[in-house]
Amino acid sequence: MKNLTLITGAVRSGKSLFAEQLATKYGGAVLYIATMPHLPGDAEQSQRIDRHQSRRPAHWTTVERPYDLPAAIAAAPPETQQCIIDCLPVYISNALLRACDFRDDAEPYEHEGAIFAEVDAIIAALSARDNVRFFLVTNEVGWGVVPETSLGRAFRDFVGIANQRLAAQAEEVWLTCVGLPLRLKPQAMV
């Protein structure tokens, strides 16, 4: 997809800031789709959301969509030229927790088909809006400790596979590390 740039990296590696810089560089009307739900009583999460919001120009449109991302993509206003989606792992976490009825004893791998159907729906929605340049922020979640729980391992596995599917579709893929963007796709000629 010529309209998709995938930006990945670790936590606090500069992914979101780089996506914002790219959208600013291209100019035009920007839609920011935020996937983080507001959790009552979570002060750290509220501070994180506030920090992200404070960086965005006032003229950008923000839509908070913890669920049904394909519908948010489809509903992007017609004047939208750039769209930042931040971030895919939070969205997958939301979908997985909802599929497991927010139970710790659920079997998360039973929901693999539903999670990847959601990823396929996101790809289809992005493809259908070929007049919009998308910057999709994601995380590399498999570079650390193996999660202790089945839910954590399923999340890690699902995000890793989703990242591969989206990277295969994207025209550009970037990895951010210590605030530095490294282009992975298309690869530079040596």
Confidence check: pLDDT of 138 > 80: yes
CA separation for the pair 80, 71 (Å, rounded): 15
CA separation for the pair 50, 52 (Å, rounded): 5
DSSP H or E segment with residue 184: strand 180-185
CA separation for the pair 149, 127 (Å, rounded): 35
Confidence check: pLDDT of 19 > 70: yes
Confidence check: pLDDT of 90 > 80: yes
Of 38, 52, 59, 111, catalytic: 52
Confidence of residue 56 (pLDDT cuts 50, 70, 90): confident
Domain ranges of the chain: 4-146
Confidence of residue 38 (pLDDT cuts 50, 70, 90): confident
User: Do residues 165 and 123 lie in contact, with contact meaning Cβ atoms separated by under 8 Å?
Assistant: yes
Decide if 59 is catalytic: no
pTM of the model: 0.92
Residue 14's CB is within 10 A of a number of other CB atoms, namely 17
Tokens of 99: 């599929």
Q: For residues 164 and 48, which has the higher predicted lDDT (pLDDT)?
A: 164
In words, the CATH class of domain 4-146 is alpha beta
